Amino acid sequence: MNNNKSNTLRGLLFGAGFIAVAAFIFTGCPSQQSMLDSRDAAEKVYVAPGEHDEYYGFFSGGYSGQLSVWGLPSARFLKVIPVFSQDPETGYGYSEETKPLLMTSYGFIPWDDSHHPHISQTDGDADGRWIYINANNTPRIARIDLQTFETKEILELPNTGGNHASSFVTSNSEYVIGATRFSIPYEMDLDVPIDSYSEEFRGALSFIALDPETGMMEMDFQILVPPYNYDLGRAGKGPSSDWVFFTTYNTEEAHTLLEVNASRNDKDYVAAINWKRAAELVRNGAGETMSAEYYHNYYEGNQGIAINVVKDQVTVLTPEDGQNFIYFMPTPKSPHGVDIDPSGEYIVAGGKLATVIPVHSFSRMLDAIENERFEGHVEGIPILDYDATIIGEVENPGLGPLHTEFDGRGYAYTSVYISSEIVKWSLETFEVVDRIDAYYSIGHLMITGGDTRNPDARYLVGLTKTAKDRYLPTGPKQNHPAQLYDISGDRMQLLLDFPTIGEPHYAQAIRADIVTPNVKQIYEMEENDHPHALLRVADNRIERDGDTVRVYMSSTRSHFRPDNIEGVRVGDTVYIHLTNLEQEWDVVHGIAIKGANNSEILVAPGQTKTMKWEPTRTGIFPFYCTAFCSALHQEMQGYIRVSAADSDVALTWSTGGN
């Protein structure tokens, strides 16, 4: 079957005639699928104009660094939430308020690679309050507030090389976890030969405590672990909710050509950590305080300006025999995902180089720990006997199983990368019951309401890595696709195939009615605590302090106040503090100044944002509103006169001759 499929693919890509390709594109129907006819599929995803989708889908941006928001099942694109990358569309990472969010111990970083969004949970179900997402490259975790769909906080993770196994929350949002993908010398900035890998390099698993009221993050402790690669993680559920699990690969401890050198053992490990026990040990003084440098960036108050708090130490717990909080479970080679079923009992690893999908049992794992069924120890960590924890191996899952989610009705769905398909299998018999193609090369998949105790398993979204012939061609590089499947029946059925933004790795979907009651329509002016807010037009003004000029400006349909400014000089640093005085939903104003080496700034109703501008030439500089705000939007403009550095033009401002 796999051969047939790859032949079909190759034929489509390279050999087929125009009609074959055209028919494929126009019908959107793969040839050999269990596929609804177009009309039935269209009805299932049709959401009438003005009506709303049933689910929010949050798709990571991958190398865009952002998080995109979609309505499901229609696949309406709703917005991009900028997180780890600058976004000139909104001014995120360009405005003075948001620039501090992108500060790290390495300085200002305009980009990252965002992989795994995870919605905060209460009692093991997504509660829709916040969504956390990891930065893979310069290790960080961000918190996005789902009242405003804005990034409110970013925490850097010290001693971490690539925060990939992140940002998964525990079932009552006690912790969000992170881990090093690339082991590195644990002590900061240690300059050692790379071939001292086994001696000097170590992994760090991060446990970030979450404030139950605000969702704010605090680095609680790290666990020092052997120098493997830590790939993905998940928290337990129900009976296993005190535990988190990480996959490891490269237990060979290779530091070069991992493709070959990290594929030699026949098993790697799932690390099982009792986080409650680890936290207790830390509370009782088992940890060690080590120096570290990492940034914690967040807003103080309602909005205002993000601040940087630089931390200089972290608590580190090094496993020792007899502490009983961390174990390794051997699992078939190079596992990617480690996924916990809704009951909390089954721990499914996706061994991308394995021929089976291994299913471990949480209760058997506890028995094995109790009875000390260890096959060895590594760096103070007991290695459990494979046969003691395994409860099933799913045969014939396709080539390269990666990630699994569950429907809560007794079935699991695993994405299979190399053979590019999704397999559905039974948690009772561990046998494959259905399979369906993915277009092409599927990475993660997600089920609506997935990774919770009560999945709302209507739909499944497959996040695939290459589009090739699926859409109208857009050059050598095309956007990554996603496919929506109906999984409410016995067979999976493909409903929709749509291009996404960036390179989605993982996504989560939540019932919209959990989120929408809390979504804000405006920033209430009475609650604007920005230090440079302009809350009444009579206070519009300009203040000069040496070379620093602060313009306190307001916007209302359809004018700025002030809109005529004189007395700015070359060499000044000008801050335009623009307050949008509108209190009506979705009435946004923006500002752009000719020649400013900056992006525009968009300002939501009731919000204050600041554009920094350093004029380098004399002259008259027009500025205007960038958001089409009203019938008189085109009249919404102003002029700033810039004079020579030694000029004595007085600082004046006016609007409408007042």
Partner 1 sequence: MISQKPLLTLLTIILFIPAFHACGGEETSDRQQSQPQTEEATLTEFELEHGIGPVTERIEIGDIDLDKVAEGRNIYEMKCEMCHNYQGRMVGPELGNVMERRSPEFVMNFILNPSGMVREHPVGQELLREYMTAMPFQNVQKDEARAIAEYLWYYHKENN
Per CB under 8 A, the list member of 1, 307, 632, 649 interacting with partner 1 is 632
Cβ burial of 432 (10 Å; 0-12, 13-18, 19+) is middle
Strands 401-406 and 411-416, by their bridges, are antiparallel
Per CB under 8 A, the list member of 257, 472, 631, 650 interacting with partner 1 is 631
- Give residues with Cβ within 8 angstroms of 314, minimum separation 6: 158, 159, 219, 221, 222, 289, 290, 292, 294
Q: Report in angstroms how near the CB of residue 19 gets to partner 1 at its nearest.
A: 7
Contact between 247 and 232 (Cβ < 8 Å): yes
Q: Does 43 bind partner 1 (CB under 8 A)?
A: yes
Contact between 57 and 69 (Cβ < 8 Å): yes
Q: Does 554 bind partner 1 (CB under 8 A)?
A: yes
Which tokens is 398 given?
A: 């396709």
Q: Report in angstroms how near the CB of residue 166 gets to partner 1 at its nearest.
A: 38
* The one segment of 216-224, 252-260, 448-456, 523-531 that binds partner 1 by CB under 8 A: 523-531
Please report, as residue ranges, which positions from 588 to 627 form the binding site for partner 1 (by CB under 8 A): 606
Which tokens is 617 given?
A: 């030439």
Q: Does 556 bind partner 1 (CB under 8 A)?
A: yes
Per CB under 8 A, the list member of 524, 529, 543, 547 interacting with partner 1 is 524
Q: Does 569 bind partner 1 (CB under 8 A)?
A: no
Q: Does 193 bind partner 1 (CB under 8 A)?
A: no
Per CB under 8 A, the list member of 6, 7, 27, 371 interacting with partner 1 is 27
Nearest CB to partner 1, comparing residues 31 and 198: 31
**Cα 603 to Cα 174: distance, rounded to the nearest angstrom:** 34
Q: Does 46 bind partner 1 (CB under 8 A)?
A: yes
Q: Does 51 bind partner 1 (CB under 8 A)?
A: yes
Nearest CB to partner 1, comparing residues 125 and 582: 582
Q: Does 9 bind partner 1 (CB under 8 A)?
A: no
Nearest CB to partner 1, comparing residues 48 and 257: 48
Strands 564-569 and 637-643, by their bridges, are parallel
Q: Does 559 bind partner 1 (CB under 8 A)?
A: yes
Q: Which of 398, 548, 401, 556 is nearest to 1 (CA)?
A: 398
Contacts 24+ apart (CB under 8 A), 644-647: 644/569, 644/570, 644/618, 645/569, 645/570, 645/571, 646/569, 647/569
Q: Got the DSSP string for 218-249? A: EEEEEEEE-S-EEEEEEE--GGGTTEEEEEEE
* The one segment of 83-91, 154-162, 496-504, 555-563 that binds partner 1 by CB under 8 A: 555-563
Q: Does 582 bind partner 1 (CB under 8 A)?
A: yes
Q: Report in angstroms how near the CB of residue 151 gets to partner 1 at its nearest.
A: 25
* The one segment of 66-74, 99-107, 195-203, 549-557 that binds partner 1 by CB under 8 A: 549-557
Per CB under 8 A, the list member of 26, 189, 284, 472 interacting with partner 1 is 26
Cβ burial of 472 (10 Å; 0-12, 13-18, 19+) is exposed
Per CB under 8 A, the list member of 116, 140, 352, 561 interacting with partner 1 is 561
**Cα 423 to Cα 417: distance, rounded to the nearest angstrom:** 11
Total number of residues that touch partner 1 (CB under 8 A): 38
- Give residues with Cβ within 8 angstroms of 633, minimum separation 6: 557, 558, 625, 627
3-state SS string for 320-345: CCCCCCEEEEEEECCEEEEEECCCCC
Per CB under 8 A, the list member of 538, 546, 597, 616 interacting with partner 1 is 538
Q: Does 583 bind partner 1 (CB under 8 A)?
A: yes
Q: Report in angstroms how near the CB of residue 612 gets to partner 1 at its nearest.
A: 25
Nearest CB to partner 1, comparing residues 392 and 638: 638
**Cα 539 to Cα 112: distance, rounded to the nearest angstrom:** 40
Q: Report in angstroms how near the CB of residue 559 gets to partner 1 at its nearest.
A: 7
Provide, for the chain, the percentages of residues in helix, strand and coil under a 3-state DSSP scheme, each rounded to the nearest 5: 15, 45, 40
List, edge to edge, every strand of the sheet that includes 357-361.
Answer: 335-340, 346-351, 357-361, 390-394
Residue 15 has what DSSP assignment? Answer: I
What Cα–Cα distance (Å) separates residue 317 from each residue in 285, 313, 328?
A: 9, 13, 16
**Cα 193 to Cα 200: distance, rounded to the nearest angstrom:** 9
Q: Report in angstroms how near the CB of residue 606 gets to partner 1 at its nearest.
A: 8
**Cα 451 to Cα 245: distance, rounded to the nearest angstrom:** 13
Per CB under 8 A, the list member of 23, 190, 433, 620 interacting with partner 1 is 23
Q: Report in angstroms how near the CB of residue 634 gets to partner 1 at its nearest.
A: 12
Nearest CB to partner 1, comparing residues 43 and 431: 43
Q: Does 587 bind partner 1 (CB under 8 A)?
A: yes
Q: Does 172 bind partner 1 (CB under 8 A)?
A: no
**Cα 204 to Cα 38: distance, rounded to the nearest angstrom:** 50
* The one segment of 46-54, 441-449, 485-493, 501-509 that binds partner 1 by CB under 8 A: 46-54
What Cα–Cα distance (Å) separates residue 92 from each residue in 215, 599, 603?
A: 21, 9, 11
Per CB under 8 A, the list member of 286, 418, 512, 522 interacting with partner 1 is 522
Nearest CB to partner 1, comparing residues 112 and 486: 486
Which positions touch partner 1 (CB under 8 A)? 18-19, 22-23, 26-27, 38-39, 42-43, 46, 48, 50-51, 522, 524-526, 535-538, 554, 556-559, 561, 581-584, 587, 606, 630-632, 656
